[in-house]
Amino acid sequence: MAISVKKATGLYEKFERKDGTKTTTYCAGCGHGIIQKLIGEAMAELGIQDRTVFVSPVGCAAFCFYYFDCGNVAGPHGRASAVATGITRSLKDKVVIAYQGDGDMGAIGFNNAFQAANRGEHFAAFCVNNSLFAMTGGQMAPTTLPGQKTTTTPFGRDVANTGFPLHMCEVFAQLEAPVYIERVSVADTKRIMQAKKAVRKALEIQRDGKGYAFVEFLSPCPTNWRMDAIKSAEFVTNEMEKVFPLGCLRDRSAEPGLQRKPIEQKTLKELMGTTGHGIDPVPDPKFGEKRFKFSGFGGQGVLSLGLVVAEAAGNDGKYVSWLPSYGPEQRGGSASCSVVMSGQPVGSPTVDRPDVLVCMNQPALEKFISTVSQGGVLIYDKSLPVKPEARGDVRVIAFPAMKIAGDNGVPKAANTAFLGCMSALGLIGLPEEQVIEALAESFSSKPALVEKNKKVFEAAKAWVTSNIK
């Protein structure tokens, strides 16, 4: 049974990219030629060549771009579905075709293909199933039939060892999103006519922007099967069809496609918001550099305490960095952050030797006490059941932050109490208005808390005035 292949108008008349010949790279009796003719015809008939991007795979069909007269992209092995996803997601309303072999799509690329199908990506996926890896010389593919001999199953595929043939159509048919799934064959004229319909339908679904369509073609590979064209066609019909039954498993092309929920559109300016200060940092060599470390348990607000100090510095035109602790500390429930404030661009954003160390829990106190810089200050919560032994050159202040916060009705505001304490002691080095403004700003989403925290701040200051000379 010879099939005359007249070139479809969706294909180039002469293959200029292939030295201008008129013959393809496919072996005589190969299904690829027939399938690509069907795709080329359908493309031309639907008039979509100027809307189409064709993604070639790796393997015998790697050179589809020799043949198809439309936009062409050659993808890596197994990745046609991912590449097609990238194209269809960034070029809306185009017709995208991903063409893969069964080894390419069923093995290395299966997850990409499966996930694309599951998302209902807008492209037509065509998979040519000839039951093995063809171009590399006939190795086993996920689709190899039980007992079938290939170069890597020399004793025949043993399903107890290498598993069963992968039924891609049936697997995809378990998914919600695909619009259309059909398995066809190109073994004889009658079947080719059915395949032609399937190709056309898959492309119409793309033309109409409906979603994912998958067509699997049972296709002969006379070269690797070591059979002539006629025997190969018979093998497809008599052996492959037994394992891979033909038919349409899904057709929702008449239903309206899924529509995305609209998201309110904004301009970049709107998105970036109007908050944020206009001041550029002003070089101020006299200011020097102040290094802070705030530490405690996660949830005690040590990170936000650091942020308020940093924001205040930024608003005051200082160079400043804020860095949360990273690594193992993050998991044990401990949290800390480093703030570096400077009159010139900040060097290291980490603080190994803090000028001011605030500790809200015991592990932090034990861990960092020895790191305070010469002449530095350690402030810890007075409720901690320890008496820290610091070097003589470190000023140690046991400050009842938690008590002050609790007494003022906001037990969670111990961090604000520490802020008030630091401000009263002149440790921040910024005007108090800047500190209070940054504190208020940090509660911009919970305005009710602003006044309460200001109260805690004032109470902390009052404690400092009456307890520290």
Partner 1 sequence: MRKFTKGNDAVVIGALYAGCDVYFGYPITPASEIAEGAAELFPQLGKEYLQAECETASINMLYGAASGGKLAMTASSGPGISLMQEGISYMAGAQLPALIVNIMRAGPGLGNIGPEQGDYNQAVKGGGHGNYHAIVLAPASVQEMCDLTIKAFELAFKYRNPAMILADATLGQVKESLKLPEKESEKPDTTTWSVQGDAKTRRNLISSIYLDLELMEKHNEMLQAKYASMEKEAMSETYLIEDAELIITGYGTSARVARSAVDQLRKEGVKAGLFRPISLMPFPTRELNRVMLGKKVLVAEMSNGQYRDDVLLHLEREVRTPVRLVNRMGGILIQVEDVLKAARRMMKEVQ
Nearer to partner 1, 80 or 240 (CB): 80
CB of 416 within 8 A of CB of 455? no
Per-residue tokens: 267: 């301009």
Residue 131 or 408 with smaller CB distance to ligand SF4: 131
Residues 416/442, Cβ–Cβ less than 8 Å: no
Min dist. Cβ of residue 172 to ligand SF4 (A) = 22
Residue span binding partner 1 (CB under 8 A) among the ranges 66-74, 179-187, 190-198, 418-426? 66-74
- Give me the phi and psi of 326, to 5 degrees please: -130, 150
> Toward partner 1, which CB reaches closer, 160 or 263?
263
Select the residue interacting with partner 1 from 32, 37, 79, 122 (CB under 8 A).
Answer: 79
Minimum Å gap between C-beta 224 and partner 1 is 20
Nearer to partner 1, 350 or 467 (CB): 350
Query: Residue with structure tokens 């072999």?
Result: 101
120 binds partner 1 (CB under 8 A): no
Crossing angle for the helix pair 432-442 and 414-424, to the nearest 10 degrees: 170
Contact letters (x/-) for partner 1, 92-111, by CB under 8 A? Answer: --xxx--------------x
Q: Are 157 and 245 in contact (CB under 8 A)?
A: no
- Minimum CB separation of residue 320 from partner 1 in Å reads 7
Q: Determine how β-strand 334-342 pairs with β-strand 319-324.
A: antiparallel
Instruction: Tell me which of 8, 34, 83, 236 binds partner 1, using CB under 8 A.
Output: 83
184-223: contacts with partner 1 (CB under 8 A): none
What minimum distance in Å lies between the beta carbon of 468 and partner 1?
31
Contacting residues for 130 by C-beta, under 8 A, at least 6 apart: 31, 101, 102, 218, 219, 220, 221, 224
Tell me the C-alpha distance between 283 and 305, whole Å: 25
**Under the criterion CB under 8 A, does residue 30 sit at the interface with partner 1?**
no
| Residue 348 or 467 with smaller CB distance to partner 1 | 348
Q: Does 50 bind partner 1 (CB under 8 A)?
A: yes
Residue 468 binding partner 1, by CB under 8 A: no
| Torsion sign, CA atoms 232, 236, 238, 243 | positive
For residue 87, the partner it binds in partner 1, ligand SF4, none, with Cβ less than 5 to 8 A by kind, is: partner 1
**Residue 220 φ/ψ, nearest 5 degrees:** -75, 150
Crossing angle of the two packed helices 448-467 and 432-442, in degrees rounded to 10: 140
Partner in contact with 290, chosen from partner 1, ligand SF4, none, beta carbon below 5 to 8 Å by kind:
none
Q: How far is the CB of 129 from partner 1 (least distance, A)?
A: 22
Task: Show the beta-strand stretches assigned E in 1-84.
Answer: 52-56, 71-74
280 binds, among partner 1, ligand SF4, none (CB under 5 to 8 A by kind): partner 1
Q: Enumerate binding residues for ligand SF4 (CB under 6 A).
A: 26-27, 30, 32, 60, 130, 134-135, 221-224
Q: Under rule CB under 8 A, which residues in 321-340 are in contact with partner 1? A: 321-324, 326-328
| Number of shown-chain residues binding partner 1 (CB under 8 A) | 74
The DSSP bridge partners found for residue 139 are: 133
Q: Supply 288's token pair.
A: 């020097």
Query: Cα dist. 123→48, 178, 230, 449 in Å?
Result: 14, 10, 33, 52
Contacting partner 1 within 233-272 (CB under 8 A): 263-268, 271-272
* 416 interface partner picked from ligand SF4, partner 1, none, CB below 5 to 8 A per type: none
